Amino acid sequence: MNSHILIIEDDENIARVVQLELEHEGFNTSIAYSGREGLAILEKEKLDLVLLDVMIPELNGMEVLRRIRAVNEEIIVIMLTARNSVYDRVNGLDLGANDYITKPFEIEEVLARIRTQLRFHRIQVKDQSADVIFIQTLAIYPSSREVFIDNEPVELTPREYDLLIYLVENKNRALERDQILNYVWGYDYFGDTNVIDVYIRYLRKKLQGVNNKPLIQTVRGFGYMIKE
């Protein structure tokens, strides 16, 4: 079943272009040109995602978002706005927005953000009983070997994934390089232990979150650890 997306945007040209692109990608769409019209559609239709402009008439986007979250925590909301201040982004995210895109934007970016959010949501809904490992803004789904940081998918090689899992399973515990090497590479590995440092660098780069805080910490003269 195709996802249904509501576009709340008062600029008819932008709304139409976005609608055409979404429908070309196979999505079902609805359009509202004001905050009140958008809320009315939300009450009547089953929707998966809302593209919500901040500067819309009747009720602005922040108020619409607040009202959405008062009754629905599940629907995905991506904010669209010409504003690019830290305050506006933080305010929208604090009110419950899943993502934030500033104008002018490339439609390819909008489509990519939509696909990412829908994919992440489907994984969560697909099997709520499945084991999910959460560390800070990191989410790992062992059954599918999928990894997300700040709700964004992370592509890891099999070795990088095994290294990450070992660190996560031993969170808050300093691991020696030999321990890591034996578990991830096997006891019959006779290569240089520097391979661990190389892969740690790979992981750190891929797992760099929005707050730029390193997830994997170095224990000087000993090894590495992940602290929760």
Taking CA atoms, 115 is separated from 35, 40, 46, 166, 198, in Å, by 24, 25, 18, 30, 31
* Number of domains within the chain: 2
One domain for residues 42 and 115: yes
pTM (2 d.p.) = 0.56
Position 187 scores a pLDDT of 65
The domain boundary residue, chosen from 126, 161, 176: 126
pLDDT tens digits in sequence order for the chain, 228 residues long: 588 999 999 999 999 999 999 999 999 999 999 999 999 999 999 999 999 999 899 999 999 999 999 888 889 999 988 766 667 677 777 888 888 888 888 899 899 889 888 877 776 555 554 578 888 888 888 878 889 888 888 899 988 999 999 999 888 899 998 888 888 887 666 666 688 889 999 999 888 765 566 788 899 888 999 887
- Look up the CATH number of the domain holding residue 197: 1.10.10.10
One domain for residues 113 and 140: no
CA distance 91 to 37: 23
One domain for residues 71 and 148: no
Can you give the residue range of the structural domain that contains 196?
133-226
Tell whether the torsion through CA atoms of 133, 134, 138 and 141 is positive or negative.
positive
Position 37 scores a pLDDT of 96
- Look up the CATH number of the domain holding residue 99: 3.40.50.2300
One domain for residues 23 and 64: yes
One domain for residues 122 and 24: yes
> For residue 150, is it left (φ>0), alpha (ψ between -120 and 50) or beta?
left
One domain for residues 154 and 214: yes
CA distance 186 to 144: 23
